[in-house]
Structure 1
Amino acid sequence: MVRAAVLSEQGKPLHVTEIVLPEPGPGQVRVRVAATGVCHSDLSLANGTLRQPVPAVLGHEGAGVVVSVGDGVTRVAPGDHVLLNWAPACRECWFCASGEPYLCERAADAAGVPHATLADGTPLYPGLGTGAFAEETIVPERGAVKIPADVPLAQAAVLGCAVLTGAGAVFNTAAVTAGQAVAVVGVGGIGLSVLQAARIVGADPIIALDVHEAKAELALAQGATHFVVSDDKAPKAVRALTGGRGADVAFECVGHPAAIRTAWSSSRRGGQVVVVGVGSAKAMVEFSALELYWFGRTLTGCLFGSTDPDVDVPRLLELVGSGQLDVGGLVTSTTDLDGIEAAFEDMRAGRGGRTLVRLD
């Protein structure tokens, strides 16, 4: 028996209880979770914005130590330190063969298969195939990326989603280069990662936008050169900071139609708009046919930062080791399993960056 935060019904609060984890089956890995970031995607799964079989253990941005492995597992062994990968590529489908493992058609398979049970035998599903809001979890072999034992697991945890997604959006999806003007709409965990990555590549200016003015200090500390309150006047303010043109690349890190429109209007003619935020299927964004033609902008969706964790995690760890990437700077509060609902409330209210759940 291990403790976990369980979602019994979408739209209801999580409750902490004991669950039963079986021994890992063929191709599976059991991990003792050390730390897990609370991501907005977890909130979207909890409130019904995203589909999720229930009851479920949410949490997908985690790191820990391998406890045991099932038959056939060769990538990791008991005692290894690992980062949890919520979108493990199968390496066999058309997308994987085409060099787009972040679009793997089987990456979400584990989310639809129970990985544990409640004490009464009710099957439990792992949120995003990971189930990291628990003392221990079971993931597919490719859902555990081995990392060096000297990397603090609390730091490694936020690499699993916030940094891979945010930094990947800069390095991979948009391929931002030195001197380009960047606008970042939404200063949460992913937006902060975008700011840091933009600073690392030498973007200038780097303009952070958020509806909460209290985010200014945090944004400036993580790489922004300017902060603008995200309202109907924000695009004009961005243009004033970029020679009247607008940003070369604008990142939307909220998943809300108004934020997408702000990013769009803040970019220059011929610029890039990268949508990183996860929105609702019911949330519609409208563009006129004329503006799509006239402005010549590129509107791009960004899933998982266009990353391959097997390749990108070592690169990110090098940046952490050199001091260029400050993972700790993304974490503005820590809690335990009982504090996850409070972390959700902080996200709803727009407070802080990442909350880290410590289980060690």
Structure 2
Amino acid sequence: MDLLIDVPVLVAAKQKMPMIKVLVEDPRAGEVRVKMFASGVCHSCLHAYDGSHATPMPMILGDEGSGIVESVGSGVTTLVPGDHVIISWLLNCGTCPPCRDGKPAHCWAPSPFGALLDNTQRFKNAETGEPVLHYGPATYAPYTVVPESSAIKIRKDMPLDKAALIGCSVTTGFGSVTNAAGARPGESVAIVGCGGVGLNAVQGARVAGANPIIAIDTSDAALQMAKKFGATHLINASRDDVVAETLKICPRGVNHSIAAVGSTKAMQNGVEILGSGGTMVILGAPPNGAVLEIDPIFILGKERGIRGSKYGSSNPHVEFPMLIELYLAGKLDLDSLVTGNYRIDQSNEAFEILAQGGAGRGLITFEQ
């Protein structure tokens, strides 16, 4: 049976999202419908909201969330109604060689942007019948439908509001250091950009035993949070020369830099602070058309490298439970990440606050 929900829908960039009545279809074969508990407020969605990334519309945003399975489609074998889940925004097929190799970010058959794996939607405008597009898993909807492979079952004693953050920012930032960079104890890591993702890169570096851990941002508030999460050195890019200050700390350059903000200037800094054999991992997504200019001799001469990392180069089915265990053991701080709490009808306000900068992560919670 279709469910009627009230949900903010992106209908035009740089305009407030109206609350619209939308019908959520039953899950089809291999899918589950999830009653959402919480959703993080993510920069990726902000880029759609403010028009810096071209986005088809009308669309329901949200790519980080948690909830409880409400119903399952035919053929679903790993989930039942009542299971607690974190939503993975990787709507991967689960059957191609990269998926079976634990690399779902390399899936050969990802869903088209705005749809599920079969290129159709499960949302429609209740008045017009017009399809409403999915921003990945569309976690701003009180109920959403995702493939079985994108709803990762978790232990029920894990608080669902904190679990939501693992769905994107925690996994992306943490994994950029532990998976993509492969940082080892005693290696130096610099994190350029200490928003929700960058703060978790700091945590990944701390858990990995990296030292020093250099946090770089233009916000003193963000830098102080980075210190709380494990940064050993702080550099304010609005006041200081990032390259010069970093080289004072690590005269031969850093082993790893993490570009956790969608700024080509930040990425340029991330390259220039690399030592011999060092690698910059790109996490942040710049505006469409942005170009990064690199001197190839600088890369070649000391065997430096640049690589991208999607979703922290993680396998969510492995990473999510591991991060939960770290949290419950007191080794991963999720509580301090949340600096703003919102209802779903306050999503425009949440984006406006996110756009102003500052520290931490906003969290939308749904009525239960």
- Residue type at the aligned position of 2:58: P
Closer/same/farther in 2, CA of residues 108 and 12 from structure 1, 3 Å limit: farther
Q: Which of 268, 273, 279 is the aligned partner of 1:272?
A: 279
- Residue type at the aligned position of 2:329: S
Q: Which of 339, 342, 346 is the aligned partner of 1:339?
A: 346
Q: Secondary structure at the match of 2:177?
A: helix
> Which residue in 1 is equivalent to 2:160?
153
> Which residue in 2 is equivalent to 1:39?
42
Is the contact between residue 91 and residue 146 of structure 2 (CA under 8 Å) also seen in structure 1? no
Please, what TM-score do these two structures have when normalized by structure 1? 0.95
Per-residue displacement from partner, 1:134-157 (whole Å, max 9, x unpaired)? 211111111211111111100100
**Deviates further, 317-326 or 265-274:** 265-274
Q: Secondary structure at the match of 1:111?
A: coil
Per-residue displacement from partner, 1:194-253 (whole Å, max 9, x unpaired)? 0011111111111100012232211111111111012561111111112x1121111000
**Where does 1:50-65 land on structure 2 (aligned, <5 Å)?**
50-65=53-68
Task: Name the CA distance, whole Å, in 1 between partners of 2:353 and 2:191.
Answer: 20
Task: Name the CA distance, whole Å, in 2 between partners of 1:66 and 1:268.
Answer: 47
Per-residue displacement from partner, 1:87-127 (whole Å, max 9, x unpaired)? 03323334335542221132334733322111221211111
Task: Name the CA distance, whole Å, in 2 between partners of 1:14 and 1:318.
Answer: 37
Q: Secondary structure at the match of 1:30?
A: strand
Post-superposition shift, 1:347?
2.4
- Residue type at the aligned position of 1:234: V
Closer/same/farther in 2, CA of residues 312 and 220 from structure 1, 3 Å limit: same
> Which residue in 2 is equivalent to 1:237?
245
2:69 aligned with 1:69, yes or no? Answer: no
Post-superposition shift, 1:298?
0.9
Is the contact between residue 31 and residue 66 of structure 1 (CA under 8 Å) also seen in structure 2? yes
Gaps of 5+ in 1: none
- Residue type at the aligned position of 1:45: A
- Residue type at the aligned position of 2:108: E
Task: Name the CA distance, whole Å, in 1 between partners of 2:253 and 2:138.
Answer: 41
Is the contact between residue 230 and residue 262 of structure 1 (CA under 8 Å) also seen in structure 2? no
- Residue type at the aligned position of 1:185: V
Please, what TM-score do these two structures have when normalized by structure 2? 0.93
2:194 aligned with 1:187, yes or no? Answer: yes
> Which residue in 2 is equivalent to 1:21?
24
Post-superposition shift, 1:359?
0.7
2:224 aligned with 1:221, yes or no? Answer: no
Post-superposition shift, 1:274?
0.6
2:168 aligned with 1:165, yes or no? Answer: no
Task: Name the CA distance, whole Å, in 2 between partners of 1:236 and 1:277.
Answer: 23
Gaps of 5+ in 2: none
Equivalenced residues, count? 358
The two structures, once aligned, show a CA RMSD in angstroms of: 1.6
> Which residue in 1 is equivalent to 2:267?
260
Post-superposition shift, 1:272?
1.1
Task: Name the CA distance, whole Å, in 1 between partners of 2:113 and 2:29.
Answer: 13
Q: Which of 114, 122, 126 is the aligned partner of 2:130?
A: 122
Is the contact between residue 39 and residue 365 of structure 2 (CA under 8 Å) also seen in structure 1? yes
> Which residue in 2 is equivalent to 1:302?
309
Task: Name the CA distance, whole Å, in 2 between partners of 1:146 and 1:292.
Answer: 42
